[in-house]
Amino acid sequence: MLCKNIIILVLVAAVLMSSVAGAADISASKGIFAKGKFNGRLVGGFGSSYGSDYFILGAGLNYNILDGLYAGLDFETWLGGTPSINNLSPSIGYVFWQVEKVKPYLAGFYRKTWVGGEWSDLEHLGARFGVYFASGRTWLGIGGVYEYLLTDGVYAEQSNVYPQLSVVVGF
């Protein structure tokens, strides 16, 4: 229930902030977060699951529906451990492009997990949060992820929080 409330809060905040953003006359600072732009993301990190440690690599593609408000799709693969793990995640989020120098972001996502070569019943809801640094077409993102496992009784821990580092390139 808490996770659903977080996702709803993120979506409502994104819609409200996009309305405020549309009224602001600072279009030059929108950059890669402007309506109609695509941006890609690379994700790297470390994680543990099934008694193994993994190096996580991922990529995603977002489309800006409105200034700062995007819909996206991400894919992650977990390397170096057994069993193999792959994730597919649609998301919706908002980048606060109006803020000078750093750009805070919030996103909600759903994740389906593929474990050991078979599509599993693992489903998650979650939120991403953090800030983007730099300017132009390339941004460094530093933040975190909260995810909640929807499948009851599968693992002892139903929720997880972990750091996330990303590189976003607009085109």
Give the tens place of pLDDT for each residue, 71-125. 999 999 999 998 889 999 999 999 999 998 899 999 999 999 888 866 567 899 9
- The CA distances from residue 129 to 27, 66, 114, 154, 156, in Å, are 23, 19, 24, 26, 25
Domain boundaries, the chain: 2-170
Q: How far apart are CA 4 and CA 24, in angstroms?
A: 30
The answer regarding whether domain 2-170 maps to CATH 3.90.79.10 reads no
The model's pTM: 0.74
**What pLDDT, on the 0 to 100 scale, is given for residue 41?**
83
Q: Closest by alpha carbon to 93, among 134, 113, 65?
A: 65
**Cα 58 to the center of its chain, rounded Å:** 11
Give the tens place of pLDDT for each residue, 137-168. 888 999 999 999 997 766 667 888 988 888 88
